[in-house]
Structure 1
């Protein structure tokens, strides 16, 4: 059995923020909010958990730094040591100042690329995936709040009309 949802459309981000706060204060669960641009503070108003992408970025950067260190130690010290500019190639630590730009670049490279891959996997964005946007007007100028109905249709309709919604639709999910 498909569940029914209410789509409340708003034409201003400030009105949307107030509406989200009123709906959350009335103890209703908001499934999703679709916006044409990022609305700052909306995640906190909806009660969403903070993102952990910064932690993964740090881990990916450490992986890049480790790969750079192992790669340069193997290539420049163990496999094929060279006398470049009179610098000895006896140990990695003696030559590390020359390797700092490479270490920095690989740290940034790994962090950036692996974060993008993680974001796409976590968001389930695959190539050729169909859009899940319930109303195409949310990509232009309207904001949509989606709330699932649990035998409280009249109460939700009255609440959303009171919050300043310009349009309220009921549809199957």
Structure 2
């Protein structure tokens, strides 16, 4: 019974991450100029509405990053899946323009990542979380995407108490 509940919770966390990402699509469309298909938005509107009320999004209307739609969605999907899998109940996504850069972050209120493990967990096949299934490739893929656009990834402590993944791209 407990094992089956854990499996359902883990699968639920992955589904929540995908739904949360879809909930962010309208904000991403405004912030990044990403086109949405109305059918996706309409079909998932009811499921997504409950997630939007629990999520905090901080986006400046003028925010943009030099990343293609598919790459951005894959990148955010990987970071959000990790955040939702490990959070206690709160995930926050934010974006801002700084002098000479665009910054995007995903943070949670989970256990965080000890400083000595931060460099290791972004390598392919490495994981810090031993309680949930996974292959240790999501963060490595996210890093590959970020670096392919000449961006930087950093991992810090979150104001929420967990981990904060920050992505930074130079702006022209």
Q: What is the TM-score of this pair, normalised by structure 2?
A: 0.27
Who wins on radius of gyration, i.e. which is larger?
1
> Quick one: higher RCO (CA 8 Å, sep 6+), 1 or 2?
1
